[in-house]
Amino acid sequence: MKDQRGSTEPPLPGTAVERRPAPVVRCRRCHRPLRSPESRWEKLGRHCADAPERTLVYVIDQEQLPGI
């Protein structure tokens, strides 16, 4: 008796390959990983784009993605 409803749905064709994580783009100033598409395009986070030119160094605990 088959009772596997919903448990093992095969992925739609073409979607499984697209599940790879996007490459990490880091801010060129503070090297924090960028998440918003705009920031990734410019390789500059909003936090740095809005910041003045002077180099302020913040020490922020930031979880790094493992494996990259």
Here's the x/- map for Zn ion, 5-24, by CB under 5 A: it reads as: --------------------
Interaction with Zn ion in 33-52: which residues (CB under 5 A)? Answer: 45, 48
- Could you tell me which residues come within 8 angstroms of residue 25 by beta carbon, excluding any fewer than 6 positions away? 33, 34, 39, 40, 43
Question: Can you tell me the distance from the alpha carbon of 21 to that of 67, in angstroms, rounded to the nearest whole number?
Answer: 12
Candidate residues 29, 41, 42, 54; the one interacting with Zn ion per rule CB under 5 A? 29
Region from 4-12, 15-23, 28-36, 54-62 binding Zn ion, contact rule CB under 5 A: 28-36
27 binds Zn ion (CB under 5 A): yes
Question: Can you tell me the distance from the alpha carbon of 34 to that of 27, in angstroms, rounded to the nearest whole number?
Answer: 6
